[in-house]
Each structure stands twice: as structure tokens, then as C-alpha cells.
Structure 1
């Protein structure tokens, strides 16, 4: 049974209510950073496996981010139902902020901050002044806002190693939360900033690539490699460099980078990039994914 730390729960509730005043929907979290309330359907028989999952329509608590609320009375009810809570999660993708979280990790062998700076340089964007939350492990969470009509998905390491994205259906651990690893805290000078709008160039990188139409592709190493080359060939003006960078990252992540350099560069040149631009983009992808020749 979970140990109850009433002081930590009281502080977490206070921080959660403060966040709700800023329009951020919250849920209680346990020390493991997971939602504190378990699903009420966890022991239900799977007699109807095709039935859609319940997102709170049953009226009970325990549906993760679908429980998130800005209503003080409901938030107090959530925490009362989970007196072992020591933190709170902030749901992403919900109005009015449509929050996007950029999680910069500090895992061994990666430097997510450097990777983000390199992405910013290559795609010509800057991260505006915004809320920054320091994690107990030494990482950082950057809070950004997205357009109301754009759904940003969650992803892990897709942009670069160590960069995870919290979007629709995800949540961020709120500042003031206490976990088994330590306390999350707002970086000095950022606690009262509003979440800044996500730069359009970064937003484009966060969205899943459009499905490429079928067309002839040059030979490459296997079907997956052919698909990546095809993806580059389908690029239109304004997305050629972005598509090439994305495809090259996937190629190196799947161990096909060296074999696909020439086909990817040839494909990019055929869309209008110069060979020098294409090779520089592929080389940047190799660095970001940690490839060593």
C-alpha cells in the first residue's frame, strides 16, 4: 500500500490549484510520476475487446489525463481520492494553451540541449523565453503552446536522441512535484512567464510527416530504405530539407545510414537541393543520431 506523506500531498495540491488558475488542467501523480489513481476498469473482464476504451464516460476517476481539470472543486476531489499523491501532472494539448512539452533528457552519451540548438540552427528557429522546469535528473522541460487546430503527437527521440515531446494525450510533471528521484522546480526567472508559442519551423518538425505518394524510387538497401528515399523524392519546395533530414535520421537510427547516403543525396538533388546542401543535411542527421564512422 502506498505510503501517505500528507505534507507532500498538501503541497502538491496547492501547486496543482495554482497551475489550474493559469488555465492548466491537472491530475494527481504518485512518487513514480504516474497517475496516482488506477483505472477503475483494470479488473473488468475482456468480454468485449472491440469496445472503445473509456475516457471517463463512466463517471469514475482513474482515466489518466482524461481526468485532468482546471475546476478547483474537481481537483480537490481527485487529490482526496488519492491521498498518497506527491505531485501533479499537467495535461498537454488542451485549451486554452494547447501545451507542448519539450523534454530534454541527460541520458549517458547524449546532450539533448546541444541537439536542440543544432536543430534550431539548421531549421532557422529560436526557442523563445518560456517556462522551463528543471528535473531531478538534471534535464529540462520547455513549455510551448501550439495552434488550437493542430494536434501534436507524443514522441520519444524522434527529433534527436534525448528529446522527447509531450503532446496530445501526454502530460508534464508540474513544478513543485516530489518524486522518488527528487523535486521538480521552475528554473529561476521563468515561473511566471506564459508558455511561449512554438516556433513554426519547430512545429513542422513535431508533426508526423505526410504520407508520400507512390512513385518510382532508386535501388536501396531493403524496403524500408526504399520508403525513405521515396519520402525524399516526394518533397515539394519548402519541405525538401526537412524531409531529407527526417529520412536521414531514420536511416541512421535503423543502421542503414552509410548505405543510404548516396540514394538520399541523389533523391534530394532531384527535388532541387544542391549536392552540397544535401550532404550537409545528411551529415547533420548522422551527428544528431550519434553515428560514428
Structure 2
């Protein structure tokens, strides 16, 4: 390992330990912003939906810990890690990440329309020119992950999701704290915004006759995600498949779209086993805590 790589890895561990001291559960990230440790189930003949119950590391956000000894052990297993992820939705902060692609104009518009104020809070500037706002959610409420549901350019990282922590270095650059926010704790999420993030449950649908109860064909719901995977170039195939699978599971069509995504990935050059393992990892990482199997930007 080159001296610069060792320095980056050492700094990543130092930043992760600092975050853990603040009560933020962390785990190592690779330069692609994906979990640095491979799944221990990647060679299993069938996808395994394990969130760490097996006791082995390599379960992404489910490895996250605030224990300094545990953090050091995870980074020792991943000396190539250049950053760290912060698990959202976990005590004591119950972090909600508001991931903005650019300046927060869209969020300010939502605030005006729905009557809430964007609080001063920890803010992380991303290499792509966006920012992450850290908000604290109430205990016992699982905020779902979403991409663009509130408005274009606004993604939400909630239970089962994660954010790249400040000080992380990725292939596109470094994440850093916005000036003046380093000493701010995650501000409580405004109630009006929280209602947007956790909409009330839909009333149960009335029973339908068998003739009308057919499920929409999954390829129609996710054809854009399949095309996204098919367009992957060498070196980006697994990353694109993982991103598309996360979006599919966040929108409730992951299981229905898994075969189509696998076929698309195989057509780009991945093996069926590699594709199924990546999709299973996306399912684990996007699943709400306690609700079964779910990147920071």
C-alpha cells in the first residue's frame, strides 16, 4: 500500500472513531462509497438475507457500531477503506439524512409550502456539489429511505440507510463539514417535514375479484432501472446494478424486479451469481430496521 493510501486509510479510521465518540454508529466505506467489507455470503449458492445475524462482518450498514474496539476491528479487516458510513435511524440520534443534489432551493420551497423552518444543523458538503443535512428523528419512528420522492434532487436516508461521514475520501473527492456547522448537533426534524417523510399508512384496498387482482408486470414499473443497468460500462457494472437494486427495493418492487435486473447485469458481463449477490446486498441495505431485508451520495 502506498504511503498516501495508508495516510488516507489512517485518517478515515480517525474520523470514524471521532464520529463513534459522538454516538454515531460507523462502518468502513470503499472509494466507491459502498461498504468496504465484502458480504460473507457472496459465495453462497443462493442469495442470503442476513443482516449480521450470522455474527460475521460484511453486512454493510448492519456492521455499524459506536464501540471503538469494534470500529478498529472493522477497519483492520478493510485496510483499503478510504471513508466511513454513518448508519441512520439508530439511537441515540436517530439520524435522518436529507441528501440534496445541489443548493437547498427545493427544500426551501418545501419549507415555504408546508410551513416549516429549516433548522441550523450539522451540514456536510459532498464532492458532487451537494450537501447532507443531519436531522434527529424521534425514537420509535422508522423513517423510510427514498430517492426523489419529496422533490427532484432530494433523497432521504433513514432507517437502514447510511451517509458518508465528513472526512471520507471517495473517487470523486472528499466529504467535509460546512463552515460553521461542526459544533452543531443534529437538529430535531421539524414536525411538518417529518409528516412528509413518514406519510400516513394507506387504507387497506377493497377486495378485488381474481380477474382484477393481477399484479402489474414488474418490467413496466422498473424498465428505466433495467435500462440503466444495461447501459453500464466495464468498471461500473456492479455499482450501477447496486444503485438500481436499491432504488427498486426503496420503491417496493425489488423482489419483483430482481430477475430482470439479474438478466440485465448478465448481459453487461457480470455472472448470474455476482448479480444475485449484489441485488441481495441492496435488499439488506435498504430494508427498514426491524422490517426485514434495504449509498450514500
TM-score clears 0.5: yes
| Cα-to-partner distance string for 1:168-226 (whole Å, 9 max, x where unaligned) | 000000000000000000001101211000000000000144213558xxxxxxxx9xx
Q: Which ranges of structure 2 fall in alignment gaps of 5 or more residues?
A: 207-215, 217-297
| Cα-to-partner distance string for 1:234-276 (whole Å, 9 max, x where unaligned) | xxxxxxxxxxxxxxxxxxxxxxxxxxxxxxxxxxxxxxxxxxx
| Cα-to-partner distance string for 1:31-88 (whole Å, 9 max, x where unaligned) | 0000000100011112xx6xx7211122211001110000000100000000000000
Matched residue, 2:190 = 199
Structure 1: how far apart are the matches of 2:38 and 2:205? Answer: 45
Matched residue, 1:24 = 24
Matched residue, 1:15 = 15
After superposing the two structures, state which structure 1 stretch, 154-163 or 1-10, moved more: 1-10
Matched residue, 1:100 = 96
Matches within 5 A, 1:134-283: 134-212=125-203
Name the SS of the counterpart of 2:99 in structure 1. Answer: strand
Moved over 2 A (4+): 1-4, 212-215
The correspondence for 2:61, drawn from 62, 65, 77, is 65
Bigger relative contact order (CA 8 A; separation at least 6): 2
Structure 2: how far apart are the matches of 1:198 and 1:188? Answer: 21
Structure 1: how far apart are the matches of 2:204 and 2:52? Answer: 38
Relative distance call for 1:200 and 1:82 in structure 2 (3 A) is same
TM-score (norm 1): 0.68
Relative distance call for 1:61 and 1:3 in structure 2 (3 A) is farther
Structure 2: how far apart are the matches of 1:2 and 1:133? Answer: 28
Root mean square deviation of aligned Cα: 2.2
Q: Which ranges of structure 1 fall in alignment gaps of 5 or more residues?
A: 107-111, 216-223, 225-293
Relative distance call for 1:88 and 1:22 in structure 2 (3 A) is same
TM-score (norm 2): 0.67
Matched residue, 2:76 = 80
Matched residue, 1:6 = 6
